[in-house]
Structures are given as structure tokens and as C-alpha cells.
Amino acid sequence: MTIRAVVKGVGHYLPKRVVENSEFEVSLDTSDEWIQARSGIKRRHFAAEGEKTSDMAISAAQAALSDAGFEPNDLDAVIVATSTSDLTFPSVATIVQSGLNMTGGFAYDIQAVCAGFVFALSTANAQILSGQAERIMVIGAESFSRLMDWEDRSTCVLFGDGAGAVLLQAERGKGSSDDRGILSVDLNSDGRHKDILYVDGGVSTGQTGYLRMQGKEVFRHAVEKLAQTASVAMEKAGVRAEDIDWVVPHQANIRIINSTTKKMGVAPEKVVKTVKDHGNTSAASIPLALSVAKANGQIKHNDLIVTEAIGGGLAWGAIVLRW
Ligand code: UT7
């Protein structure tokens, strides 16, 4: 008998304001054609003035609770993956706890930028397997529009805001790859690449700062490292590319998604793609994609899923789970 962390509910929130590529044509030397051809992005959502990462996280968590049929006080823990917390502290997770009127358990944030949700899911899985918690809400929530330099066309057209949440619960499994729940995890980071994707502000500078990225370099690392981590996670889970029902990749660039999944040997029709409508929402992109894919009938009970992400650090990883 083995304990597995099984997905019991999923939900998401997207801010009301939708920004089409054409809006950027007014102020920047760019075009809808370039943005779509180079990134696959057509539109993204931006948080309203005053709308915070925690507000989006709370809405996504409420949707996941309702999907699972649980109350906030049924949770043992809340983990939020974010690089855009409302304030330096407290954690977004404790603000979510308060917003849900959850009076027990524990709550904290994880910061691994675009790979944050994979790292948070891995941590939640470890706490469930160790018996520290039975039910954990794992949220990815971001307001990357707050980090954009609106004069830098190479970055500001790529990112969006939103939140997604997944509720995990301990269940008994047989210990085989037929079990539902998280089957394997592979995490990596390499701080030698910290300067190719970063924000040039923070506590040490006294300003929030702007996102800076050497896009081509990040792209090169992404394709190689994502295919590698996915293959390690699949090997650890004892599954092959032909067993996979869905790849749910971090949604940064359609060309990265297509190259990576081709390297993995997974057919294009088995890949969940939301980058066109959401842009890159960093740690929110995977739970958002999971929630949208479940809502539109793509992901079903018992489906075998690989999810993978890479971001600033660099930090990257993959998880194999059965839905
Ligand atoms: O989530 C974290 C991980 N992040 C990523 O995975 C992002 C990885 N990188 C990428 O997605 C791509 O590298 C980009 C979409 C950022 C850029 O695509 P690219 O094919 O690598 O283009 P590039 O940076 O080589 O730029 C090509 C040209 C340049 O002009 P020159 O030097 O050839 O004259 C850029 O100045 O495109 C120009 N350019 C633009 N043109 C119109 C850059 N941004 C824009 C723009 N509109 N918005």
C-alpha cells in the first residue's frame, strides 16, 4: 500500500480585462503578426487597478474547493507559487487563508518563478506522502503585468495575469503507475544562468523593478531542459511517451511547446495549449491550463498527464500524475 496525492478539484480565475496584441501596436514598434508568429500569443488578461495576486488566488481556490465539494476548513494547508506577491510579506498564502476564512492548518509561498507550480506541487506531494498533511490547496497566482517595462517590446507583449488552483488529497494506491495521483517528480535548478531572466528590482534596490530577459538564450535552454526533465520524470514513473494522454506544459511560447513535445515523442493533439489566450502567466500557467482543459472536456478521470516548466534561476522540473 502506498499513499498518493490525488487531484480532487481544480479551478482558475482570469481578470476581466483582455488585451489583444493589436493594443501594443499603438505604443510600440510591434505587430500582431510578429507576436503570434514568434510566441503563439494572441491575447492576455491584465489585472485591474488595485486587483492583487491574492485576490486572483482566492477566486481560483474557491473554484477548486467548489469543484472538489470541500469547505476551506477541510484543508490542512495552502501553498501559493508566485513571484508577484502583494507585499514583501506576509505570504500570499496566508492572505488566501484569511480570505477563505480558514482558521487552521498552515500556509506559505514558494518562489521558483515560471517553474513555481511544479515546485509547489512537488512540496505538497512530499508533505502528503510524509503524513504531514492530508489535503493541500496548491495555487499558482501571478500579476506579471506589474513587472513589465512597457517600452521593452521584447518582453511586455509576452506576459499575462491569472491564477489556477489544484486541491490534492491523500489516498491509498497500489504503488504502480496505474494509481491515481502524483506518480513522479523531477526538479532542477542552475544558478549559473540567473542573469538571463530576472527582475532588476527588489528589497536590495528599493524599487519593484522590471523583468529582463535574454529571450533567445532562455528559449535554447527551455527546449533542451524541458524535454530532459520530462523524460526523467516519465522514467521515474515507469511510463512511456505512448502511455501519455496529455502533456500540460508551462505556457510561455508555442514554439517551445511544439519543439519540446516533439522531442518527447508525444503527438501534437495530446498537448494542452492555452498560450494563445493567456500569454505567459508564469507560475499560474499550468494550473490555469489544467483547469481550462478539464472544463472543456480534454482532461478526464484516470488520464495520464505530464506537466513541465522552466523559469528564472534557471529552475525547471516535471511531474507525472494520473488525474
Ligand atoms: O516563462 C519563462 C521562460 N520564458 C520563455 O520561455 C521565453 C523564451 N523566449 C522566447 O519565447 C523568444 O525568444 C521570444 C518570443 C522572446 C523572442 O523570439 P525570437 O525568435 O527569439 O526573437 P529574437 O529575440 O531573436 O528577436 C528577433 C527580432 C529582433 O530584431 P533584429 O535584431 O533581428 O532586428 C528583435 O529586436 O525581433 C525583434 N523583436 C520584435 N519585433 C517586433 C523583439 N520583440 C519584438 C516585438 N515585435 N515585440
Residues 212 and 294 in one domain: yes
Residues 45 and 142 in one domain: yes
Residues 169 and 308 in one domain: no
CA 52 to chain centre: 17
216 lines ligand 1 (CB under 6 A): yes
280 lines ligand 1 (CB under 6 A): yes
115 and 311 Cβ atoms separated by less than 8 Å: yes
Residues 7 and 141 in one domain: yes
Largest CA distance in the chain: 60
157 and 211 Cβ atoms separated by less than 8 Å: no
Residues 43 and 153 in one domain: yes
Domain of residue 121, residue span: 2-173
218 lines ligand 1 (CB under 6 A): yes
116 lines ligand 1 (CB under 6 A): no
Please state the atom number of ligand 1 nearest to the C-alpha of residue 155. Answer: 16
173, 191, 225: which is the final residue of a domain? Answer: 173
Q: Which of 198, 148, 197 is nearest to 44 (CA)?
A: 148
For ligand 1, atom 39, which residue shows the shortest CA distance? 154
Using the mean position of ligand 1's atoms as its centre, give its distance from the Cα of residue 256 in Å: 12
Active site residues: 114, 250, 280
Using the mean position of ligand 1's atoms as its centre, give its distance from the Cα of residue 15 in Å: 26
Q: Which three cell numbers stand for residue 106?
A: 498552515
Digit-by-digit pLDDT tens for the chain (323 residues) are 799 999 999 999 999 999 999 999 999 999 999 999 999 999 999 999 999 999 999 999 999 999 999 999 999 999 999 999 999 999 999 999 999 999 999 999 999 999 999 999 999 999 999 999 999 999 999 999 999 999 999 999 999 999 999 999 999 999 999 999 999 999 999 999 999 999 999 999 999 999 999 999 999 999 999 999 999 999 999 999 999 999 999 999 999 999 999 999 999 999 999 999 999 999 999 999 999 999 999 999 999 999 999 999 999 999 999 99
Helix, strand or coil for residue 142?
A: strand
256 lines ligand 1 (CB under 6 A): yes
CATH code, domain carrying 64 = 3.40.47.10
173, 189, 224: which is the final residue of a domain? Answer: 173
280 and 318 Cβ atoms separated by less than 8 Å: no
Residues 23 and 160 in one domain: yes
E-assigned strand segments in 160-206: 161-173, 181-189, 197-199
Residues 142 and 198 in one domain: no
Residues 12 and 159 in one domain: yes
Provide φ and ψ at 78, rounded to 5°: -130, 125
